[in-house]
Amino acid sequence: MSGNVIPPLSSVRHERTFPRFTAAQRWEHALLLLSGFVLLLTGLPQKYRELSISQDLLSTPERVELIRQIHHIAAIVLALEALYHFGRILYLLSKRRLPGDLLPTWQDVRDAGHMLQYLLFLCNDKPKFGRYNFEQKVTYWFVFFGVLIMGVSGFIIWFPVFFTQFLPGGVVPAAKLAHSTEAVVIAIFILVWHVYHVHIERTNLSMFTGRLSEDEMRTFHEKEYERLTAGSVKVKPGAKK
């Protein structure tokens, strides 16, 4: 039975964690990820019809209609998620409970300049960040306005007769261009920027677990860590303050 040796309790490491995202926020992220992925898979073949894979997918009217139906269902899911997100923001504003952590500030500009100096070896230390750093704020607001542009333009394409009753006819081709272009830009942005900062620079699983370890808080959100732990370190009796 020597192969079933139980390690002593002294070797067990207890890791302190901090809450990062609520369950509702994680579900929002999952719906955004899923619906966005489906929209890309069904939208890109319609934009690049000259590609052989697109021609195979859209080879018959029935397939074209099926692809469009799936695209529309995913668009409705994304629209409902966006409305929930915006509605929650309005609710928190009405209750004066909306945190300003994601709002851009001049400190973000200074942090970006500081980070640039660090990357160019002009200084030895990285900037200290709060709950969200400037990279995460760029991601949030870029996707926020991107989804807004794609949502408005997408519904104009979906219901052209309705919208051209009070808008000029040229709004439809303009919406098509804006919709497809913004989709490609967001896809590139997420693959290059977001995936690098979340999965390549470090493996950040907080959007799935809802928590960050103490080491991650100290390393990547030092200001927030200091704020959360302020006063938690007790001074031993007789020690000098």
Domain end, chosen from 98, 118, 148, is at 98
Please tell me whether residues 87 and 132 are part of one structural domain.
Answer: no
Residue 4 has pLDDT above 90, yes or no: no
Residue 235 is predicted with a pLDDT of: 43
**CA angle, residues 30, 215, 31, in degrees to nearest 5:** 5
Residue 223 within any structural domain of the chain: no
d(CA 80, CA 19): 26
Give the type of residue at 178: A
d(CA 139, CA 191): 12
Residue 58 has pLDDT above 70, yes or no: yes
Total domains in the fold of the chain: 2
Residue 147 within any structural domain of the chain: yes
DSSP structure string for 84-137 = HHHHHHHHHHHTT----TTS--HHHHHHHHHHHHHHTTS-SSPPP--SS-HHHH
Q: For 189-215, write each residue's pLDDT tens digit.
A: 998 888 888 888 888 889 889 999 999
Residue 15 is predicted with a pLDDT of: 78
The average pLDDT across 171-179 equals: 95
Q: What pTM value is reported for the model?
A: 0.83
99 φ/ψ angles, rounded to the nearest 5 degrees:
-70, 150
Domain that holds residue 114: 103-210
Residue 114 is predicted with a pLDDT of: 95
Domain end, chosen from 51, 80, 98, is at 98
Please tell me whether residues 155 and 193 are part of one structural domain.
Answer: yes
The average pLDDT across 98-126 equals: 91
Please tell me whether residues 56 and 141 are part of one structural domain.
Answer: no
